[in-house]
Chain A
Amino acid sequence: MTAFLDIHLRRNNRALLAWLVLGGLLVYFLHIHPRGASIGVLSAWANQGTALAFLAVGQTIVVMSRGVDLSIGPIMALTNCLASHLVNGGPLELAFGIAIVVLAGAVCGAINGIVVVVGKIQPIIATLATGAIYSGFALIIRPIPGGSIDETLSELTTGDLAGILPSSIVVLLVLVCLFWLPVSKASLGRSIVAVGSSEQAAYMSGLKVDRAKIAAYTLGGIFASFSGLFIGFQTLSGDPSIGLPYTLNSIAAVVIGGTALTGGAGSVLGSIAGALILRTIGSLIFFTGLPPLAQPLFEGTVLLVAVAFGATRLLRINNRLEVFQ
């Protein structure tokens, strides 16, 4: 039992650290915000980070299977453009529209998985290629930014819940609990992590390796579609080029959240903290009076510090050969 606890702590201590950093940043942010700590400020803060947080969750699941999804931004843009056509009208049409959008995300993700598994193509290059295809389709669906999205849903998801909690965070957590928690507890989720840890060992143990990989990418696509929907609720429109900066930021959020890109372990919650940290830093710079031009440099430095933590592993090795792992 203590061994289990030890492993659990060791695996999640960096996620915990990410949440502590986020807490500190948030307190400081609310402290210096001219309007002070209020639910309005808190909701606006949460809204800024939620789209990236959804992507970071999807990216984490793929990374845990020792893959990477460079098409996650394009899937987000594609589903966002779809939503700007479909998420309108009466309750039935809305439900139908959202279902189609999420389905589209799932299909894109599944295609990624199939290309990786059947084509035996390395994930970086496979998702780079499918990403180009999804971007193309996003441009066909909506050549220039525009369209419209139901405003009631927008207010529901970007406002606050009874004046206590930002509803975007609630939506985020509920969807993670609905779509990832059950999977992570089931054998499918275990298989995803096992495949990421050692594909050969997973195969030898009789796990369905291919199915686990495809499932990981499909979940990535589903969470990317949530992100596309949420961006739609924020902007009330569709934009085919919106995904560009998000792909690399989602990877950065995963790293800051403490998930190793080598797969086999990871924390979805840590990545959510990572995404919110990235966005909070952006807002902080805006209010602290640092020159806005220094913002990219500052963000880069934060990423550098987060990454440098990975190098502390070198201090613990006993055998020179372990360096190469």
Chain B
Amino acid sequence: MRAVSFVTSFDGPTKAIAVAMLLLLAVGGAYYHQFLSPMYLMQQLQNGAFLGIVAAGAMMVILLGHIDLSVPWTITASATLATALVGTSPEALVSERGLVAGLGAGLLIGLINGLGVAYLRIPSMIWTLVTNNIILGVCVFYSGFYALRSQPSPVMSALGAGQLFGIPCAVLVWFAVSAAIVFLLRRSRTGRYIYAVGTHEPAAYLSGIDTRKVIVFAFVVAGLCSAIAGMLLTGYAGQSYQRMGDPYLLPGIAAVVLGGSSLFGGRGSYSGTVAGVLLITLISSMLSIMQAPEAAKQICYGVVIILMVGLYSRAAPAN
């Protein structure tokens, strides 16, 4: 396998987003000087870390030509379970069973998603919609419409809200997750299989790949990523709450698609996904600072997606 240099891995969409972000920062910075301050930019990375980890998981599934709509309640359920086990008085070490259980919940949900899509052959859009509804049902039945009073474990608090050498720990976790995903996609056999299955599953199957295991694996990674984001969010907010995962589903998918991945599968680079996350985070934060009303944010968000994605697909050769 040919080694791919870091520089050439920046493809068209990544460059387009980089240009768009520099433009935004330059124009925005001319009016509001705080846009260019290191503190502001670091805060953006902290905000982007949660979305970035969700998008990393979403990308694994999208590369297969599937989609994971269970993100909102995977985040909420893993966080609710974790804080419920920690209870109201977190202790060192003992409370970390909450963290482990939360991550385990993410793994389990990912496994169920993967089994339904790979073995029962139910379209992922429907199957993950159903699992999302079922998890919602279990959570509501278990905890009522309001989350129980509970707290994150010490490690969750440290990772979600703490800093190391001036860098938010959540960003470091995002780096770690990114490194693992990049290694997986570029250096491992499974990564190659993921692209192969996403390109044309029957061909991958006939070449001897157990495509069903690949699909299950990708969904498990996606579930785990959602759970990690849930743990960090809980640590950041100091609690778990109902609907805490809702704002991450569509922006997560949008970030992956903005980064140039095709929803049909088989095409996409991780650098594009990171760029997409940064662009979405930057746009929403700039609009907040300019005190744009919610309506303007929504419209802006929609227009950016249509323009950028339209640009890519019209530039790409027709297949």
Contacts and interface: CB of A to CB of B under 8 A. Distances in A.
A299 B133 contact: yes
A132 B299 contact: yes
A121 B306 contact: yes
Contacts of A300: 130, 133-134, 136-137
A119 B309 contact: yes
B127 interface: yes
B145 A293 contact: yes
B278 interface: no
Contacts of B306: 115, 119, 121, 126, 129-130
B105 interface: no
A261 interface: yes
A128 B305 contact: yes
A143 B293 CA distance: 10
Given A119-B310, A293-B141, A128 B254 contact: yes
Contacts of A251: 125-126, 129
Interface string A276-319: 00000000000000010111111111011001101101100000
Interface in A243-263: 248, 251-252, 255, 261-262
A261 B263 CA distance: 15
B141 A140 contact: no
A307 B301 contact: no
Given A125-B309, A126-B306, A132 B130 contact: no
B247 interface: no
Chain B interface size, as a band, is: 35 or more
B263 A122 contact: yes
Nearest to A317: B121
B297 interface: yes
A138 B296 CA distance: 11
B138 interface: yes
Interface in A105-125: 115, 118-122, 124-125
Contacts of A320: 205
A47 interface: no
A298 B122 CA distance: 20
Given A136-B298, A139-B294, A324-B205, A301 B263 contact: no
A308 B250 CA distance: 26
A39 interface: no
B160 to A, nearest CB: 27
Contact of B140 (A138, A297, A301): A297
B123 interface: yes
A115 B303 CA distance: 11
Contact of B120 (A120, A255, A311): A311
Contacts of A84: none
Contact of A303 (B133, B140, B263, B299): B133
Interface in A190-237: none
Contacts of A128: 250, 253-254, 305
Contacts of A299: 133, 137
B137 A132 contact: no
A292 to B, nearest CB: 9
A131 B136 CA distance: 24
B12 interface: no
Interface string B124-157: 0111011001101110110011000000000000
A314 B140 contact: no
B295 interface: yes
B258 to A, nearest CB: 9
A68 B67 CA distance: 14
B188 interface: no
B271 to A, nearest CB: 19
Contacts of B127: 307
Nearest to B142: A293
A311 B123 contact: no
B201 interface: yes
Contacts of B299: 132-133, 136-137
A132 B283 CA distance: 14
Nearest to A121: B309
Interface of A: 68, 115, 118-122, 124-126, 128-133, 135-140, 143, 248, 251-252, 255, 261-262, 291, 293-301, 303-304, 307-308, 310-311, 313-314, 320-321, 323-324
Given A124-B67, A129-B301, 19 more contacts: A119-B309, A121-B313, A125-B254, A128-B305, A130-B302, A131-B302, A132-B298, A132-B301, A135-B295, A136-B297, A295-B137, A300-B133, A301-B137, A304-B130, A304-B134, A308-B122, A310-B120, A311-B122, A324-B201
Interface of B: 67, 69, 120-123, 125-127, 129-130, 133-134, 136-138, 140-141, 144-145, 201-202, 205-206, 211, 250, 253-254, 257, 262-264, 293-299, 301-303, 305-306, 309-310, 313-314
9 contacts: A121-B310, A126-B309, A261-B126, A294-B137, A297-B134, A303-B133, A307-B126, A307-B127, A321-B202
Of all A-B residue pairs in the complex, the 10 with the closest CB atoms, nearest first, are: A297-B137, A136-B298, A119-B310, A136-B299, A132-B302, A133-B302, A300-B133, A139-B295, A129-B305, A300-B134
